[in-house]
Structure 1
């Protein structure tokens, strides 16, 4: 093995009694926990009721998983529909395949439906953004365990070594590939740090951290997507996910600018906090 080359794990599952545990699921769960813990603290520091984070997570997490799987299946339909394909495989989430945009969109919608009745969604989304970036970073380890979604061959010292069973057709054993899982992991961690740094150095309005997170993720995903060699649908020569990122980046940049002009406060005021607590008290009585 070339010195510095990144080895792939020799397993993606392990047994626990009669159960088969998939590492993909483990890292997704770990990412969710990290996101909730970070959002819980950040929302509390903004003056919000941190219990609202847990209430929203109960709805947002399953909604995000469903949305991510739907996006993946729709944009990679040829893997599930057609000769020799089985539509039932679309339910096998443990084999990998969560489209981030479906996960973020449906997960955010689920959180919004919970939060909107009790508090402003902008400060809540801002509190969530860095934790969500960290969760995505952790989630990319699932691709490493599954030996999937890596990039083109590379001569770089940190190339990824893939087991022969996972080699794409036409590549010789020992070929090293761009570890795109690692690139995205590092990009997302850096994005989380940048967002927190911007908050500390600049007076950002409600919603701006969230939209900067969306734009920042898109910016990184475009160049990472360009490295990948897994099968994907193309439009005008570009992978579908690249078009998605470019479009969402433009929309997020406009939304961040508009949020700045609106200049709604990023913190929860005392009157809002009292109303939030009254709403939760009434819900508990019901």
Structure 2
């Protein structure tokens, strides 16, 4: 029976020889669940973390269908992240984008060779460091009392002369000013949080805040940032954020990590600099 053709899925790149005894911890991972082991692939001074995947399920058309399904996208993303996390626990690791697939091992080696200098520079930058995420949210302001600020213009329409009309407009303006003041206070608090964490980090990157579809209507995302910190500075980071939470009572501050340095691996690499 002829074996079904396979492609090579690439998760991450490490320095050659950086993964100590990689076969044991990585081969135990299910990866994408194809049945093939997660393995390493040497390419000059670099090593790729890869897995064989069936061409029928991971060619361009199949990937488009797979990643358009929300549940399948989440499954693949979690599996991809799990392998990167395991590799980064063993050695400095440059994460590759989800769904980085090559025709075979030879194409992987070619791609690494073309970006060798960029990968080595990125690996030098992230060695001994991890990424932390900090999010700052502003809670929604207290809802106005229905009798003082009606919810709609129809309900608010003045009916008893110009005096009532002016009073209504005053209330609308006051409500708008209050919202603007709340937002300004939240932005200033977020800048103080960012400045404090940047003072501990070797690099920082602002990310796009989440919209209401993620945060819900009860709060607004005013800071979404990633920071690259040296290993061993976690206690300082947590202490700084604990102090900020006591001082910045108006906003909510969330910390996540440590992560593999997705945001600092190198713009051209982390954002899809390798091509099949």
Give 1 or 2: higher helix fraction: 1
Fold match, TM over 0.5?
no
TM-score (norm 2): 0.27
Greater Rg over alpha carbons, structure? 2
Q: TM-score, normalised by structure 1?
A: 0.26
